[in-house]
Structure 1
Amino acid sequence: MTAVTALKPVPEVFARPDFDDRRLDWLMESVRGNKFLPEPTIDSIFVGDGDYRAIGTEFLGHLVRLGGIQPNDRVLDIGSGIGRIAVPLTQYLSPGAAYWGVDPVAEGVAWCSQNITPVYDNFRFDHIDVAHHIYNPKGAIKGEALRLPYEPASFDFIFMISVATHLPPLEIAAYVREAKRLLAPGGRLFITAFILDETAQSALPQRDPRLAFKREGEGPAWLVDRTAPLSAVGFDDGFFERLFRHIGLSVCLKSLGHWRGQPAAHYQDILVVEKKG
């Protein structure tokens, strides 16, 4: 069973009364089997491992069920990569919704712009030249100085999937501050992370053996490989809650993933926060 802490009730997540949980299951199955949706070649996928379509479809379900994304939302995907989440969202977001994806990898932005936008013109993609040791080592913008090219309160829903797992603490703080600026009142931020709670620190036998985190100094970061520190980054339990509280966002859900060796409906940990009106 997934370890979930619901700090406030999750509101009804569907804008249309006919779009219920069974319909979401049907939609996810339809996306998985739709051969007409765009999909990059295997050798061009630079975002993690696993099946491109299956992972994207899985996250569609998490964004709806845990995040509360609605079909008419104005959406910002920070770390849109090569469209793994965008492609399933083309089947969920309504034509009146707006999706923007931003990423430091120019090739991924170009692929999305060439293969998604021509068919779904409410899906747009921007390259942001932020430096990252793995994904964009020659980037001109330091992560701590991130400023995205959108007006305040432009979005109802922002998500960062497998982004905080590759950033140091000061850069995560910059991204969260920017998310707060861009969210409309009542808007939500959905983040995945590796949280080193007591269970994660105990290293259960069934835990993912690739994630042998060791605390970096006094924390809050935990690293797997100090020679490539941003390949996987975990954080002290409570780090995100303190950060959100300091920036002025309210945590409404914390759901722990099965990477730590416990049964769960998702791999990474998930946090959902809200900007108060």
Structure 2
Amino acid sequence: MNLRHSFLAVLVAFLWGINFVAIDLGLHPAGHDVPPLLFVAFRFLLVVFPWIFFIRKPDVGWKAIIGVGLFMSAGQFGLLYLGMALGMPAGLASLVLQAQVLFTILLASRLLGEKPTRKQLLGVVLGVAGLGVVALGRSVVAPVLPLMIVLAAALSWAVGNVVARHSRAKSGLGLVVWSGAVVPLPLAALSLLVDGPDAVFSTVVDLQPATVLSAVYTAVFASLVGYGIWNRLLTLYPSSEVVPFTLLVPVVGMTAAWLVLNEVPTPAEVLGGLILLLGVATAVLGVPRKPPIVGPALRVKSPL
């Protein structure tokens, strides 16, 4: 990856690290709790409108657009916001979500023919062990369900990564905006079913400034800027060259959560987190670039 693209990848990691604190502040403004699925729907309204009227549809099929929207946007953020609303700390969420790197490697191997090396498989094993330590430590001090939900969000993100990579869209920003259109109506409807009309109506009519500012940050900086760059990089480089930069996300996220939210992880969470990051680093750092092998289910004219 050239220097300019490396700088952009670092910028994305910074924006995404701050994003977790912004989400937490938006979900829990003073004296209020915002329904998480409604919050995600609101975020993606800002991602889509008015930009969809000015940004051309990406040069990919509707299956790719819907797939990215369902997995990288609706699935990832619906589950992430739900996990954080149920008590998952922002800093820890930024760490656990990096399991997406390990999931991406495994899914890219199966679906894109990017066969993992022994080193990558060792990294996956270390990462799983780290997650086990985090889960064990978390279960001692708090319910483990929010952790499992955020882990499911990581899996959804990984599926979205593979779909985005296979799509080879030339416009990363276009893919973000057009795929984002998949999110608002289904998640708003789901929020009505889960939270009830009264909770949704009271949130809308009494929208707090912290929630609005959070939604603006997550929509503009995390989604439009961050995912616009991310999706473009995934179309230019193998997944193994792009995903290592997400190692910086929990560093930024946990530091920001400590400074802003006064979150201090337990020793077990720190130990498990270090093992997880070691696994991710083992899996993705220093991996030689090889021409990918096209899987039997996929037929492409050039390397993905």
TM-score by length of 1: 0.28
Greater RCO structure (CA 8 Å; 6+ sep):
2
Give the structure with the larger helix fraction: 2
